[in-house]
Amino acid sequence: MSSKRDLVLKAFNNEKTERVPVGFWFHFAKDESAPQSDEIVKINYKGHVKFIEDWDPDYVKIMSDGFFNYPGFPEEPVKTAADLKKIKAGKPETLKWIDDQVAHVKNITEKYGKDIVTIYNVFSPASYLFIGIDGFNLDSITRLYKEDAEALKEALLTISEDIKLLAARVIKEGGTDGIYFSVGNFNGISKDEYLKYIAPAEIAVLEAANGVNDSSMLHICGFEGRRNDLTTYAGYPVKVINWAAGVEGVPLEEGKKIFGGRAVVGGFANTASGVLYKGTKEEIQAETRKILQAAGTTGVIIGADCTIPRDIPIEHLKWVREAAEAFGA
């Protein structure tokens, strides 16, 4: 096992490491949510290669640019809860969508997977739903929930049949170590309601991934300032958790308590106004030390709230790792 794989897997498992690993990622396509095409998949692959060669990262989150749009929806738009029953799992176009993602992941892991840990971006069933039926409108989930909660739950479980297959196959056949699983709360849906109607489909996906290899990361997304009750996910079967520490106002050391001491990822804001993007070397490295002094070094991985800006200088990421290396264990 390479030293970087060993370093990151130890951190995932909450074991002591010689230094804290560092991981950041950004989208490679100009519009990551654009429909799948040979061009966007090629851009995505070439972007990964350049990113890895330029930075030599500790681990890689493989981006799913071009694969945001789940094909299991009916041809006619889903507008009401009754329309949710028209969503079908296992459609030929959906199976091809999964096949193409397995091939995409395999292209990267065959080149780098022996040296570094990789995890692949997979959205929750609810995320695929709000992306696909209403163009990234989070409120569409709340609207459908209020109309018919049971219909929403069944639709999410239907979608999860395909996403479980995707999660298992990108690990087993694609060669990635796990998935980076994106979830999040919805306004107007309480924690208890979420756990009853939305969580079952999400937990099913994580269990499918864990059934192949248990090295996945949960991402609790702060998309467009979305606020989350982190305790909603305290019981999710995952080793590593990432959330928008800046948006939520919950630093790594507090999150560790919420998640029972499990490994955590983050610390830096991911916006163009944050120190990671606009700071000097001294400012970025001072912030790295500040994060580590508060959070400790065991089961801690330095990263950001979410995807960082595409045009961030790679040098900034190197400065974080230099500071982490100097900080030590």
| Rounded distance between C-alpha atoms, residue 40 and residue 149, angstroms | 36
- Report which of 51, 73, 89, 56 is spatially closest to residue 204, judged by C-alpha positions: 89
pLDDT at 329 over 90: no
| Rounded distance between C-alpha atoms, residue 320 and residue 318, angstroms | 5
* pTM of structure: 0.96
pLDDT at 184 over 60: yes
Q: What is the pLDDT of residues 60-73, one digit of tens each?
A: 999 999 999 999 99
**Residue 97 pLDDT:** 98
pLDDT at 152 over 60: yes
Q: Print burial letters for 26-50: b (CB count within 10 Å at least 16), e (below 16).
A: bbbbeebbeebeeebbebbbebbee
pLDDT at 1 over 60: no
Q: What is the pLDDT of residues 29-51, one digit of tens each?
A: 988 888 899 999 999 999 999 99
Q: What is the pLDDT of residues 77-121, one digit of tens each?
A: 999 999 999 999 999 999 999 999 999 999 999 999 889 999 999
Q: Where are the domains of the chain?
A: 3-327
Mean pLDDT in residue range 8-37: 93
What average pLDDT does the chain have? 95
Predicted confidence band of residue 2 (pLDDT cuts 50, 70, 90): low
| Rounded distance between C-alpha atoms, residue 200 and residue 194, angstroms | 9
| Rounded distance between C-alpha atoms, residue 86 and residue 109, angstroms | 36
pLDDT at 132 over 70: yes
Cβ atoms 55, 118 nearer than 8 A? no
Question: Would you state the CATH architecture of domain 3-327?
Answer: Alpha-Beta Barrel (3.20)
- Look at 29-43, 103-117, 274-288, 289-303 and tell me which has the smallest mean pLDDT: 29-43
**Residue 176 pLDDT:** 98
Mean pLDDT in residue range 2-6: 88
Total residues belonging to the chain: 329
Burial class from Cβ neighbours inside 10 Å (0-12, 13-18, 19+) for residue 231 reads exposed
Predicted confidence band of residue 211 (pLDDT cuts 50, 70, 90): very high
Mean pLDDT in residue range 275-303: 97
pLDDT at 278 over 90: yes
Mean pLDDT in residue range 190-205: 98
**Residue 47 pLDDT:** 96
Predicted confidence band of residue 136 (pLDDT cuts 50, 70, 90): confident
**Residue 226 pLDDT:** 80
Share of the chain above pLDDT 90, in %: 91
Mean pLDDT in residue range 185-202: 97
| Rounded distance between C-alpha atoms, residue 230 and residue 234, angstroms | 7
Predicted confidence band of residue 134 (pLDDT cuts 50, 70, 90): confident
CB contact set of 313 (below 8 Å; sequence gap of 6+): none
| Rounded distance between C-alpha atoms, residue 139 and residue 308, angstroms | 25
